[in-house]
Amino acid sequence: MNRRHLVRWLALAAFALSLVLTPSPRGLQLGSEAQAGGLDLDFRAFYDPNRATEERTLSKPYQSLMSELSLAMGSRMVGPAGSLGALGFEAAYELSFVGTNSKASYWQDAASAPNAQVSTSQLRVRKGLPYGLQLGANLTHLNDSNMWAIGTELNVSLIDGFANIPNLAVRSSINVVLGNADLGMLIVGADVVLSKSFGIAGILALQPWAAYSFAFTHVSTHQIDVYPTASSIQPDLMLLKQINNTSHRAAFGLRVVVTRISLGFEFLRSFTDDLNVMTLKLGVDF
């Protein structure tokens, strides 16, 4: 990758970061539209005036909502396992469709326009390093919301480039969710990927893969002021407990490479949430 390409991608990343840091409007009344996007979350939906302040903390619906949000905002495309090479560089756009339990009370109460299938857009770059290492970064946006995620990943190819042996790699990733003033979410992932590359007529390569994916999510919120009625002068205080959640997933995918252009598809199944994620990818290799 030459200096001109690097400058272009740094400029794109700076523009995207400026969008992340743009504040979103917030409402003051309980039950009002707190933010502009239909999928922006208002945690005052979990307010219960009949419980003591210190007990207005943890609920199963709240845990379920955070688990599904983690599925939507975490890292994508775990494969293939083959390395990019010490000089390799990849830039890609990924579009994901994530299933949700949109009819559940936690979505109906916390979001103004929940959907059975939400979508995310992700810009992702990866740089190959010596010894089968790859370092990457991504910027993810939950469409129809003000929520974004910034992440980084490290991929280690343990077995790579043998003619009769599948490639094997492990990946670790960290994503931080931004865009909701009340929410703090950290998503840590670990993946094990098995793949193989098949060349066809020296023109293109088919790279199928299968993977196990594990995610750990830490969720915290600030103390939230709730005005139960329009005439309330003093706010009632609500504090939601921190959540530490784990999720187990399986992924199957295929990448097609023609010269410098790559197309990819991945199907991911979350056994913890009983939900699916489908991802399309368009990439360019330098």
Tell me the per-residue pLDDT of 214-228, one tens digit each, with 9 for 90 and over. Answer: 999 999 887 777 777
Instruction: Please give the residue range of the domain that contains residue 87.
Output: 3-285
Q: How many CB atoms lie within 10 A of CB 22?
A: 9
User: In angstroms, rounded to a whole number, what is the distance separating the alpha carbons of residues 50 and 102?
Assistant: 27
CATH number for the domain harbouring residue 113: 2.40.128
Please report, as a single letter, which amino acid is at residue 151. G
Q: Among residues 172, 136, 181, which one has the least CA distance to residue 20?
A: 181
Lowest mean pLDDT among 44-48, 54-58, 193-197, 245-249: 54-58
Q: Which residues pair with 267 in a beta bridge?
A: 252, 278
The pTM for the full model equals 0.83
CB 107 within 8 A of CB 116: no
Tell me the per-residue pLDDT of 239-269, one tens digit each, with 9 for 90 and over. Answer: 777 889 999 999 999 999 998 899 999 999 9
Q: Residue written as tokens 């950290």?
A: 186
Number of domains present in the structure of the chain = 1
User: In angstroms, rounded to a whole number, what is the distance separating the alpha carbons of residues 249 and 146?
Assistant: 26
